[in-house]
Structure 1
Amino acid sequence: MRGNPQLVGREPWHSRMRMASLGAMPTTRGLERLIFFTDAVVAIAITLLILPLVDAASVHSDTEKTAAHFFTEEWPQVLAFLISFAVIARLWVAHHTLFEHVASYNGRVIFLSLAWVFTIVVLPLPTAMSAEFDTEKLTIVFYLGTMLVSSLLLTLLSLTVRGNSQLEASENPIDPRGVRGTAVMTILFGIALVVAVLVPGVNYLALLLLVLAGPIERVLGRRAARVT
């Protein structure tokens, strides 16, 4: 008995979705559009960080207060802006560096990239909240947790691409140091979150742990070199 000729060679829709998720979709234009979209969203999100300060400056100008009054009263907002700007910039650099080694993409790369972009879009909200509710545990968890998830997604992206012949550029493979770097940042964000929540009075100062990222990466790099 012959099957329906219209169905010959066709896969069920769920099989096609799985193939799209796991198999590469090798179009240079598609990869460029994914990168351009990501960069554009990051640029918008990092710009939104300054808007609460712009609004606050307008309020101060209406009350005829001086610039010194503005910075004295709004220093928590200014600090939150600087921290979030530095974090987003650091995460974007890691994302940019990773995609220098990407030759193609698949559904998993798209999903992880969109999830990462979501964390960047969300970050201006806890940034603004951290200035208004600076000691509330929920705000601290929201703020540091968003950073943690963002860094974790970058780590997963790196692990997804590295060693995958369909995704990784054969002429420019991912340096193990890059994977170690994102992994170290993720771990430090996690430790900072735990310290900020459990240790009274520390709050956002726990982010100072991130300065250890460079020294830790160098130590791990030397150990890896000795092993190889």
Structure 2
Amino acid sequence: MVIRRGYDRLVNLSDAVIAIAVTLLILPLADSAGNLGSATPAEFLQENSEQLFLFVLSFAVIARFWLIHHQLYRSIDGYTIPLVWLNFLWLLTIVFLPFPTELLGQRNAATNPLTSGLYIGTMLVTSLSGLAQQVLIYRTPELQLESVRGTLSLVGAIVPSIAMVIAFVLAITVPGVGVWGLLLLVPTGVVENWITRRRAKSAGPDGTGPDVDPSTN
């Protein structure tokens, strides 16, 4: 059953939780800066360069997840109970991410398969729970705004999820890869656009069949 009442509260709660999560990312660095002592700012930045990199990386990842979530929830005007629970699972992983981020900031932890696996594994669950939400919305047309009904695609969620699975497997099985496997996410946008163009071309101008040049008939 699709519920319309209280939809804005669900969206506002999600945005608030994400805001808290990205704030938590900077707290360990803020604590370290409070104990600067006689060290210069340049020395502090050099000593904590790895933690700063992980902060920026995690912030960028959460921002990317939020953009996908924001775009998805702009296409609907209601919710179902299963969608709410999938959204809470998605939020759980977002809130949890600062913990493995802090673990990775410890000395020699970035290439530890268990630590990097926990870090990327958290992101993987985020991706899969986001994909599950998209599948549910895709299969429930009455959830969708009339203006977008029939136009939604799962490509934008499936491609990054596949890349995240590969990055996770590499992190826990190949020594030294660590978080660098996340670089596989960089070309996902290009892959998504390529798949979308191929599907549009094969569907034809009217969306019912291959795009055949009439001059060849």
TM over 0.5: yes
Distance 1:174 1:208 in 2: 33
Q: Deviations over 1:116-164 (max 9, x none)?
A: 0000010000010111122222111110000010011111101101141
The letter of the residue matching 2:202 is: V
Gaps of 5+ in 1: 1-22
Q: Which runs of 5+ in 2 are unaligned?
A: 204-217
Q: Counterpart amino acid of 1:89? A: A
Q: Give the residue type in structure 2 aligned to 1:124.
A: P
**In 2, distance between residues paired with 1:32 and 1:112?**
17
> For the residues of structure 2 that align with 1:142 and 1:81, how far apart are their CA atoms?
16
Q: 1:94-132: CA deviations, max 9, x gaps?
A: 000000111211101100111100000100000101111
Alignment map for 1:116-195 (pairs within 5 Å): 116-132=90-106, 133-173=109-149, 175-177=151-153, 179-195=154-170
Matches within 5 A, 1:93-104: 93-104=67-78
* Deviation digits for residues 2-55 of structure 1 (CA, Å, limit 9, x no counterpart): xxxxxxxxxxxxxxxxxxxxx11222xx11000000000000101110011111
- Report if aligned partners of 1:46, 1:85 keep a CA contact under 8 Å in 2: yes
Aligned residues: 201
Counterpart Cα distance in 2 of 1:187 and 1:205: 16
Matches of 1:89 and 1:82 in 2, distance apart? 10
Counterpart Cα distance in 1 of 2:201 and 2:139: 22
Alpha-carbon distance, 1:59 to partner:
1.8
Partner residue of 1:46?
A: 22
Classify the secondary structure of the residue corresponding to 1:166.
helix
Instruction: Using structure 2 for the length normalisation, give the TM-score.
Output: 0.89
Partner of 1:199: 174
Aligned residues with identical type, % of pairs: 39
Kindly indicate whether the alpha-carbon contact (under 8 Å) linking 2:24 and 2:98 is maintained by their aligned counterparts in 1.
yes
**Structure 1-normalised TM-score?**
0.84
Question: Could you tell me whether the CA contact under 8 Å between 1:101 and 1:174 is conserved in 2?
Answer: no
Q: Which moved more, 1:127-136 or 1:79-88?
A: 127-136
Q: CA RMSD in A?
A: 1.3
Which protein is richer in helix relative to its size?
Answer: 1
Aligned amino acid, residue 106 of structure 1:
T
Structure 2 CA distance for aligned equivalents of residues 67 and 175 of structure 1: 51
